[in-house]
Structure 1
Amino acid sequence: MKIYINARFLTQTITGVQRYALELVKEIDQLIDRGEIDGNRYEFCLLSPSNIINEPAFKHIRHKAVGKLKGHLWEQLELPFYAKGGLLINLCNTGPAFNKNQIVTIHDAAVFNYPKAFSFAFRAWYKFLMVRLGKTSKKIITVSHFSKGELMQHCKIAEHKLVVTHLGIDHIHRKKAAAGTIEKYGIQSPYVLAVSTMNPYKNFNLIFEVLPEIEAHNLNVVIVGSKNSKVFGEQTWAKSDAVNWVGYVTDEELKALYEDAAGFIFPSLYEGFGLPPLEAMASGCPVIVSSRASIPEVCGDAVLYFNPDSPKEAASQLIEITSNPELSKQMSYKGKDHSGLFSWNKCAKDTVNIIMNTM
């Protein structure tokens, strides 16, 4: 039985969605290796365009670069042809609009809730595609119960088609913190860390609004993530000597930044899941997060919450975790315990069960 995986994500910079796809495929490969999936009965194959930037290395899952096109055109016009005769698995929000023998993971419905955060072309295409995929696909996987409700509301996807699988966090434990990261980026400790894409609904302006309080307590801010994107609308960002915008970093550098941070802040207004707070928790960093969307579902009682519309409340919580050593220690222990509930092994097993029950 042939199972094709849409590997267009191998052509993309790794953010949360691509992380999910990579780690999930790695874990499925391990399930085959351990004999938990019958590799003689089920054949998994990655199909990608030729312009990949991340070369996969799996024991049992083959990779084939196929077709001559790139991007959405490759996905819509060439991928369906090469996936004929098998079930197609799409892991990153998109898939061929007219292929019925497929499963699609849709992470959130942000284009419906925050349309102004995206370019016109992006949101128009994604709104059409998500509704279409909800109608034609055999199953829709999503990453939180919050997102399940959002997709039912905005895309009118039938509840029986939707299945929730939480993401994992154990990838962070497989990385060794890169020595010299603090020195490489000229970071001044103590610092508060923030990690995200620069989508407007990530609410990064809040960080700049609390800068006076942060600086008053001799704290600096380190932001991981690119300032610019073709997807998101034009944005301007305040400048401050207390803010070190390091851009994209390696996984090993990111782990070093998590481990050395005095605290982690996640001010997002909307998330389908929200992986960075769990990565910070797993690294022992005390965390404060927005009380919106899926974030309470994911973070539980292992963090401090704040109203993302209240910079004053965010500043208060931030100062609390960075100036109270006992609280910081307690949150570090609690965060490590809570993050342990989320594993790629469980995510992969749940996903494979969905695949097997669909074929």
Structure 2
Amino acid sequence: MPTTVAINGRFLGRQATGVDRFAHEVVRCIDQLVAEQDPATSGLSFELLVPPAVSVDAQQFPHMQVRQVGRHVGRGGGQLWEQISLPLAARGALLLNLCNAAPLLYPHQVTVMHDAAPVRVPQAYSRAFRSWYGVMAPWVGRVARRVLTVSEFSRRELATAYRIPGRKIGVLPMSGDHMLRLPESEDVRHKFGLSDRPYVLAVSSASYHKNFRLVADAIRMLGKVDYDVVIVGGGGRVFQAVRDDQITESHDADGRVRRLGYVDDADLKALFRGAGCFVFPSLYEGYGLPPVEAMTLGCPVLASSLPSVREACGAAVLYFPPTRPRELGALLTHVMQDSALREKLREQGLARVRPYSWRATAARLLGEISPWLPQR
């Protein structure tokens, strides 16, 4: 009889973030490995457990069972479902949590924690969220069989912030190769009313630590430039988001900074393809998936000089201090005016991401959880 691995599918019921992207791609690739009868999946069956309000297309993960469990519990039901319904449904199985949160009272689990942002940048999160993570993350770190994360930087952060023993934490590679698979919108400039001028692209949520204002301030200090800045992304309920007026007060009269809000994957891919460069000004990251996505699509990258981002991007991007708008502005103009430099960055980025894939991430994860499964 196959050994069951239960997967926490709560992420399928919300608008995707980078953490949710990780979960979706890992589950998709595990499903593919099952279909191919990869030796890593021998003797295993995978069951995706989702809240009752979440509907999953049977063709999305055709080689694993999808089961709705628990009851509709209304507002705040996500956490209640995760703490009560999920562990009850997973009884007897190894439970795999891919998006930071996990049940407190289910020790037979492996949990992926992406970073220690609620501790390191508390002003970016609501008080309730910070309080919950201050309890949940250290507790799960102690009781779980294994904790996984996405960079060596985050492994150190989890060990320090949540006192999780470093030997208990494994590191998984990440990838941007999902961007190659996605459809691409046509005429994205017309759809969003963008001008014909070149543009710089920034992508992330409007959370404080994503530091969007740095880009707008950099453009304001430069005065007149011959390119626009397009900012994509929405805020989340748990985030203390940057207010619209905090961004727009840095705009100039020509409206060179455009905020598009949340866009779908096809639009995002087209915006990456059309950008002169991508800028990533974050103050804190566990990994930094957006610059990896940009490099995967051949978009030159300028990124905040953070240890985690340097770990992900290496020498393939240009770095800037995330608190100095004048330096960022000068770097933006230099890159936007130098086509040879942009081409060099494009080639370096493509070379940097080539060895990585979500399939490799999924295979590595299966290797990480294998010690906690019965001998097959």
1:354 to 368, 371, 374: 368
Q: TM (normalized to structure 2)? A: 0.92
Letter in 1 for 2:336: T
**Structure 1 equivalent of residue 233 of structure 2:** 225
Q: TM (normalized to structure 1)? A: 0.96
Letter in 1 for 2:200: V
CA distance in 1 between counterparts of 2:57 and 2:218 reads: 41
Work out whether 1:194 is the aligned partner of 2:202: yes
Secondary structure (helix, strand or coil) at the match of 1:278 reads: helix
CA distance in 2 between counterparts of 1:346 and 1:230 reads: 32
Deviation at 1:214, TM superposition (A): 5.7
Secondary structure (helix, strand or coil) at the match of 1:108 reads: coil
1:102 to 109, 112, 116: 109
Deviation at 1:215, TM superposition (A): 5.7
**Structure 2 equivalent of residue 36 of structure 1:** 38
C-alpha contact 2:207 2:241 (8 A) present in aligned 1: no
Cα deviation 1:280-318 (Å, max 9, x = unaligned): 111111110000130000010000000111111111211
Deviation at 1:329, TM superposition (A): 0.7
Q: 1:202 to 1:103 in 2, by over 3 A?
A: same
Deviation at 1:230, TM superposition (A): 2.1
Letter in 2 for 1:349: A
**Structure 1 equivalent of residue 258 of structure 2:** 244
**Runs of 5+ unmatched residues, structure 1:** none
**Structure 1 equivalent of residue 215 of structure 2:** 207
Letter in 2 for 1:78: S
**Structure 2 equivalent of residue 309 of structure 1:** 323
Deviation at 1:203, TM superposition (A): 1.1
Letter in 1 for 2:372: T
Letter in 2 for 1:48: V
**Structure 2 equivalent of residue 159 of structure 1:** 166
Deviation at 1:112, TM superposition (A): 0.8
Cα deviation 1:158-179 (Å, max 9, x = unaligned): 1221000021211011123211
Q: Spell out the pairing of 1:41-190 with structure 2 (5 A cutoff).
A: 41-52=43-54, 55=57, 57-68=60-71, 69=73, 70-188=77-195, 189-190=197-198
C-alpha contact 1:270 1:293 (8 A) present in aligned 2: no
* Amino-acid identity (%): 38
**Runs of 5+ unmatched residues, structure 2:** none
Letter in 1 for 2:207: N
Secondary structure (helix, strand or coil) at the match of 2:38 reads: coil
2:267 to 253, 257, 262: 253
Letter in 1 for 2:178: H
Q: 1:130 to 1:190 in 2, by over 3 A?
A: same
Work out whether 1:9 is the aligned partner of 2:23: no
**Structure 1 equivalent of residue 23 of structure 2:** 21
Deviation at 1:331, TM superposition (A): 0.6
Letter in 2 for 1:5: I
C-alpha contact 1:214 1:220 (8 A) present in aligned 2: no
Deviation at 1:234, TM superposition (A): 5.4
C-alpha contact 1:76 1:97 (8 A) present in aligned 2: yes
CA distance in 1 between counterparts of 2:29 and 2:222 reads: 40
C-alpha contact 1:47 1:64 (8 A) present in aligned 2: yes
CA distance in 1 between counterparts of 2:237 and 2:304 reads: 26
Letter in 2 for 1:65: Q
CA distance in 2 between counterparts of 1:277 and 1:39 reads: 31
Letter in 1 for 2:214: L
Q: 1:262 to 1:54 in 2, by over 3 A?
A: farther
CA distance in 1 between counterparts of 2:217 and 2:186 reads: 32
CA distance in 1 between counterparts of 2:306 and 2:288 reads: 11
Q: 1:232 to 1:296 in 2, by over 3 A?
A: same
Q: 1:180 to 1:348 in 2, by over 3 A?
A: same
Cα deviation 1:125-148 (Å, max 9, x = unaligned): 011100001100000000000000
Q: 1:39 to 1:152 in 2, by over 3 A?
A: closer
Secondary structure (helix, strand or coil) at the match of 1:78 reads: helix
2:310 to 290, 296, 314: 296
Q: Considering only aligned residues, what root-mean-square deviation do their CA atoms show, in Å?
A: 1.5
CA distance in 2 between counterparts of 1:332 and 1:234 reads: 31
Deviation at 1:279, TM superposition (A): 0.8
**Structure 1 equivalent of residue 292 of structure 2:** 278
Secondary structure (helix, strand or coil) at the match of 1:238 reads: helix
